[in-house]
Every structure is written in structure tokens, then in C-alpha cells.
Amino acid sequence: MTAEHGQMTEYNFAYLDEQTKRMIRRAILKGLAIPGYQVPFASREMPMPYGWGTGGVQVSAATLTPEDRFKVIDQGADDTTNAVSIRKFFERTAGVETTEETAQATVIQTRHRIPEMPLTEDQILVYQVPIPEPLRFLEPRETETRKMHSLEEYGLMHVKLYEDIARHGAIATSYAYPVKVAGRYVMDPSPIPKFDNPKMEMAAIQLFGAGREQRIYALPPWTPVVSLDFEDYPFEPSKADHPCDLCGAEDSYLDEVILDDAGGRMFVCSDTDYCRSRREAGHAGRLSEEAA
């Protein structure tokens, strides 16, 4: 055996073999049948590291068909390094068309954001999930948390939120904000900012893949998704209190960019496609001339 082994020139469509894809599809279907339930699956080693989107990549690989148009975002942007890397992986192994336009994509793999533009019933949103268990930081043991889910025993989570209020005067969770889906399972929405939580009741199918933790879960279209809160401390989605400095959008989630060492900063849409399409439509922000 020689070095030829290492140079694979032929891949099965979307890298994974058909048996593995079938196994993943079964897990996805089970997940869709029980919204918010974490389905164990035999996650494979992928040619990118665990923790870098291997769950999302496996779900995308099992979901893609040759006719699909694929979009990958990380932090809302198509051109962040890991999004580029994953997009190239599927260009190479599946040969599918890729796009940066949200509306044009049939499958969107995301890390940490939901696109600003509402998704349609013809689209699938695939989330990369680092820690799928919403109770993990309250109870490290999987045997315990699975028991808590099966008994619908979520008191611990409410105590945690209450303690936040007692200590800080507000619920001190700003991303990966826990939700209850279809009135049953408490679910981790992946580390999206809580600004995105209300968007999760959507027309598209949402699939969540956690490769290292070997879990898949899912939300069918229009599944009720409620962010946990209290009557007197209602859930509040939040974002930087500015318009976008490039496109002027007031309704989009913003990234803060430090401009100089004198405290100068600008706020720009984290969703790069949303920002670009608004600018192309003639919208302008405070710094749009300068940035052009």
C-alpha cells in the first residue's frame, strides 16, 4: 500500500456513502416526527474537525440532491473562513450549485444565525450545533438529562432563569436561549442570538446536527417555538440599538466593528446577503459612501 491511498479522486455524491446517508435520514425523519427530541445517530468522522460543523455537514450531505442550490453562512456571512471551507467541500464532493442569495438557496447551512429574509416552504435550514443539550450546563450527565426530558422535568431550567433575574435583574442569556417546542421538549436553538428566536416559527424545515455529540433534532414547518420566560419578565429579542451603517436597515441583527483606537465604531448587518441586496436596491446607511 502506498501513497495513492491518501489521494481520493472519487467521492460518493456529497461525500458520505449511501448507507450512512440512509442512517442519517432515518434520524432526521424521527426528529421531524418528534419535534425537539434529540435523536442519537452514529456520527461519522468527517474530513473537518469536530466542533467545526460536522453535524451540519452530515445533515446537509444526507439532505442535498443534485438539483439543490446550497448556501453556507457563518455568523450570518457567506465569506467567513469556515463557511467558505464548507461551501467548497460540497462544491467538490457533491458538485451542487452554490449561491450567496438567501432567496435562491434550497438548502442553507448556518452557524449562529437565521437569515433576515423569511424562508419559504421550499427551503431547508440546517444548523450546526455544538452542544445540543439545553440542560447540559445545569446537569453534565447525559443519563440524567435524558431522564429529565423524558419526564418533562424542566424545573431546573426555570430556576436558572429565575436566579439570573435575582442576580442581574434580567435573564442573562443572550444567545442559545432555550425554547420549548410544540409544547413538549425544551430545545437548544444552537448559539443563535436570542434576536433570532422568534424567527424559528417559520415555513421552512429546520434541521439541527451535532456531530461530536451524535445528535440530530428537527422542527417541521410552523412548529410552535416559545422562548422560555416569566409573565413579569417576558422574553425580549434584542440587538444593537442602531441602524446598519451600510444599508440603513433598522430590523436586522448587527455586528459591531471597531474602526480605530479612539472608540470609533460602526454597526453593520451580520447577514451579508441581506445587507448587499438592500444596498443594491438603493438603501444607504451613515457610512455607505465612505465604505464604497
Partner 1 sequence: MYVAVKGGERAIENAHAWLAEERRGDPGVAELSLGQIREQLSLAVNRVMAEGSLYDPDLAALAIKQARGDLIEAIFLIRAYRTTLPRFGATEPLDTGEMACDRRISATFKDAPGGQVLGPTFDYTHRLLDFKLAAEGGEPNAPQAEPREAPMPHITGFLQGEGLIQQEADSGAAPRDLTREPLEFPADRPLRLQSLTRGDEGFILGMAYSTQRGYARNHAFVGELRIGTCAVEMEIPELGFAIEIGEVELTECETVNQFTGSKTEPPQFTRGYGLVFGQSERKSIAMALVDRALRWKELGEDDTGAPAQDEEFVLSHSDNIQATGFLEHIKLPHYVDFQSELELVRKLRREAQVSHREAAE
Which residues are near partner 1 by CB under 8 A? 1-3, 5-6, 8, 15, 17, 40-47, 49-52, 54, 74-77, 79-85, 88, 111-113, 130, 141-143, 168-170, 172, 174-176, 191-195, 212, 214-215, 238-240, 246, 253-257, 259, 266, 268, 270, 290-291
Q: Which is nearer to partner 1, 35 or 193 (CB)?
A: 193
Marked catalytic residue, from 76, 209, 275, 285: 275
Q: Shortest gap between Cβ of 255 and partner 1 (angstroms)?
A: 6
Q: For 78, phi and psi rounded to 5 degrees?
A: -80, -20
Q: Which is nearer to partner 1, 89 or 223 (CB)?
A: 89
Q: Is 269 marked active-site? A: yes
Q: Give the sign of the dihedral formed by CA 268, CA 270, CA 271, CA 272.
A: positive
Answer for the pair 128, 110: CB distance below 8 angstroms, yes or no.
yes
Q: Give the sign of the dihedral formed by CA 114, CA 120, CA 126, CA 132.
A: positive
Q: Is 36 marked active-site? A: yes
Q: Which is nearer to partner 1, 115 or 223 (CB)?
A: 115
Q: Shortest gap between Cβ of 133 and partner 1 (angstroms)?
A: 12
Q: Is 282 marked active-site? A: no
Q: Is 247 marked active-site? A: yes
Report which secondary-structure segment, H or E, holds 62. Answer: helix 54-63
Q: Shortest gap between Cβ of 176 and partner 1 (angstroms)?
A: 8
Q: Which is nearer to partner 1, 118 or 140 (CB)?
A: 140
Marked catalytic residue, from 55, 56, 209, 269: 269
Q: Is 275 marked active-site? A: yes
Instruction: Identify the DSSP state of 86.
Output: H
**CA 133 to CA 150: how far, in whole Å?**
13
Q: What is the dihedral of CA 274, 280, 284, 288, to 10 degrees?
A: 90
Q: Which residues contact 98 (CB under 8 A, 6 or more apart)?
A: 69, 70, 71, 72, 87, 90, 91
Tell me which residues are annotated as active site: 36, 244, 247, 269, 275
